[in-house]
Amino acid sequence: MANPALRKPDRDEAAEYYFRYIDQVADADIVAALTAQRDGVLGLLRAVPEERGGDRYAADKWTLRQVLGHVNDTERLFCGRAFWFARGFDTPLPSFDQHVAIAAARFDDRRWPDLIDEFTAVREATLTFFRGLPADAWDRRGVASENAFTVRALAYLAAGHVAHHVSIIKARYLNA
pLDDT at 119 over 80: yes
Q: Report angle CA 57, 60, 61 to the nearest 5 degrees.
A: 50
Q: Which residues pair with 148 in a beta bridge?
A: 143
pLDDT confidence bin for 176, thresholds 50/70/90 = low
At 40, which CATH number?
Answer: 1.20.120.450
SS3 106: coil
**Percentage of the chain lying above the pLDDT 90 cut:** 93
- Identify residue 174 by its one-letter amino acid code: L
The whole-model pTM stands at: 0.95
pLDDT tens digit string along 79-105? 999 999 999 999 999 999 999 999 999
Whether residue 4 is contained in a domain is answered as: no
On the question of pLDDT at 27 being above 70, the answer is no
Examine the pLDDT at 5 and tell me if it is beyond 80. no
Q: How many structural domains is the chain composed of?
A: 1
Residue at 155 is within a domain: yes
Q: CA-CA distance, 125 to 158, in Å (whole number)?
A: 12
